[in-house]
Amino acid sequence: MYVLHAPWRMAYINQSSSEKIDCIFCAFTKEDNDEKRLILYRGKRAFVMMNAFPYNTGHLMVAPYRHCGDYDDLDGEELLEINELVQRCIKLLKKVMAPHGFNIGINMGKVAGAGFEGHVHVHIVPRWEGDTNFMPVIGETKVMPEALDVTYRKLKEAWEG
């Protein structure tokens, strides 16, 4: 197996348990540093942020501000804004990155793969033909063709444009 070095992850790995954030969605929205936290947009009831450990370049997440673990506990206004933001994310990614398709989903519960199971969020993952090539399948290595900060600037500019 080949090793792909990702030195930026060391800060996360070396955090003591007291430094780890229980819920990134709650913690990050309380801060005033959207670029550092990769927050692209703040709405009235929900917000859009990039995934810092993306499945693919341009991987976005939409979440309500309210700490809520189940999709069926969201109120009507939250549901409406979340779904409008998901649609807006798709349009943004089509314009900026021209993907061939998308995976859109919610992982509810630990067994479903939720990393932050206490705060429901929607993943919008752009997909391209060939993005599941030999590297992740055989080489066990995922190649991200663009740095997060570069992708953030492109998407933020297009969102505000």
Q: Which amino acid is at 65?
A: Y
Of 5, 59, 100, 121, the active-site residue reads 121
HSE-up (13 A, CA, CB side) for residue 106: 20
| 123 annotated binding-site participant | yes
Give yes or no: 121 in active site: yes
Q: Give yes or no for a contact between 158 and 95, defined as CB atoms under 8 angstroms apart.
A: yes
59 is in an annotated binding site: no
How far apart, in whole angstroms, are the C-alpha atoms of residue 48 and residue 86? 9
- Residue with token string 């933020």: 156
Place of tokens 């069926």: 72
Binding site for substrate, residues?
A: 51, 123
Binding site, residues?
A: 51, 123
Kindly list the catalytic residues.
Answer: 121
